[in-house]
Structure 1
């Protein structure tokens, strides 16, 4: 790792081609997928990406943050080959997806997931809300379920809002995009579980000590009939109070941490 601050190029115009490309990546999922890139906004996300070994190609720094010790330390630890650009705060605020300009942001390569392991995993079908997606991924990483399969109908898992909600979890998960969930589920060697208001047993009665494939569906439509039929465990989450159903991110978190509870020593 270099121990000197890298050279920094100043961008002073919104018409700069490098800046225009950054805006396209922030605003358009198709552009991010086409180029195999993501945009990590904020120092925490960038630090986490670098610590996880994610390849970052460009770093954009808010001029007003250049004097901060945390920013200077990150610049000094940057791998060789990362292009660094400086923008004033006003210009930075025009390109970021955040409500206020962060200290910095980075363009990084989307991680390539490793070979499927066959261990416990999440199958996410047509999850549309960025906050829900990021929260589910954060819970999965915290619960030690690191393999996630996403249907083609899901929100872009590397959208800026999803990345922020995930708080760095993305970089420690194997995220399989555009997955054929039915095929994955049919080939899974373990308990294939969906939650259902009509489930024949409580979540807390289900043995989760082995390999489990947790299936969660769209916020409105739920799990599709094909995936529901392919599951061999249909459980309900007890709700003694007044509620028709739980938010999908909350349901996923409860299931993941019930597995943690069952695996934890007494």
Structure 2
């Protein structure tokens, strides 16, 4: 493993820029996975990173040893940093000092919806986005489409909130949701408080796409008008609305429940 000890090292400067700048991540089409769990998940589902970076005090940690061994076996570059230099890269406090540099997914989105999917219109909060990705992956949903203006799906905050879900999903960003919904070959369902049809009264045992919107403003009215159906989640009237990530999880797992019930008939 290569050791870097100076903050003036060109490779280290590049790493620090990548860690601190969203524009640098976007320009390079790279991002960072911070911590043992994300690194292990990436190795399991996607393979080797472009670069593995370890803090000096964690080189002999039993979980890090296994990750390093696999990276080196696969021919990935590995570097060791003094703890103070590593900590300037990491956003995880009191974590195990290992991170990966990986290519952020930049695939072209398909022009039609045909698989179970989630459409996110201008979703702003990284924690909400990561939580939705995690629930979607757990529910067996395959694709996620994010409109322009949504939080960056491959930002460090979203990656941490997703807990490895990114590597089980096809995630597409900056997607024209109007065109996508218009060309859809499967139903598109949006949640709304202005309908009486609940998620428990509609057939979810089929391929479909869920549409969720901005935390405060909801789904754009023009997109809402394109949805095949609007559904609601029954709740106490004293609560105006639920968090979008919680609503999404309820919808996804009602779909799972109906799929299981349908398979058992």
Coarse TM-score class (shorter-chain normalised): over 0.9
Matched, 1:111 2:105: yes
Q: Call closer, same or farther: CA 1:137–1:31 in 2, change over 3 Å.
A: same
Matched, 1:183 2:173: no
Indicate if the aligned counterparts of 1:45 and 1:167 stay in contact, CA closer than 8 A: yes
Match of 2:151 among 149, 155, 166: 155
How far is the alpha carbon of 1:55 from its aligned partner?
A: 4.6
Runs of 5+ consecutive residues of structure 1 not aligned to the other structure: 1-7
Match of 2:64 among 52, 71, 96: 71
How far is the alpha carbon of 1:111 from its aligned partner?
A: 3.3
The separation in 2 between residues aligned to 1:191 and 1:171, in whole angstroms, is: 26
The separation in 2 between residues aligned to 1:114 and 1:128, in whole angstroms, is: 22
Matching residue of 2:12:
19
Matching residue of 2:257:
261
Secondary structure in 1 aligned to 2:91?
A: coil
The separation in 1 between residues aligned to 2:212 and 2:36, in whole angstroms, is: 31
Matching residue of 1:240:
236
Aligned residues: 259
What is the root-mean-square deviation in Å for CA atoms of aligned residues?
Answer: 1.7
Question: Could you state the TM-score of these two structures normalised by the residue count of structure 1?
Answer: 0.92
Q: Call closer, same or farther: CA 1:100–1:91 in 2, change over 3 Å.
A: farther
Matched, 1:98 2:73: no
After superposing on structure 2, the runs of 4+ consecutive aligned residues of structure 1 that deviate more than 4 Å are: 112-115
The separation in 2 between residues aligned to 1:199 and 1:55, in whole angstroms, is: 47
Question: Could you state the TM-score of these two structures normalised by the residue count of structure 2?
Answer: 0.92
The separation in 1 between residues aligned to 2:239 and 2:175, in whole angstroms, is: 32
The separation in 2 between residues aligned to 1:202 and 1:192, in whole angstroms, is: 15
How far is the alpha carbon of 1:102 from its aligned partner?
A: 3.2
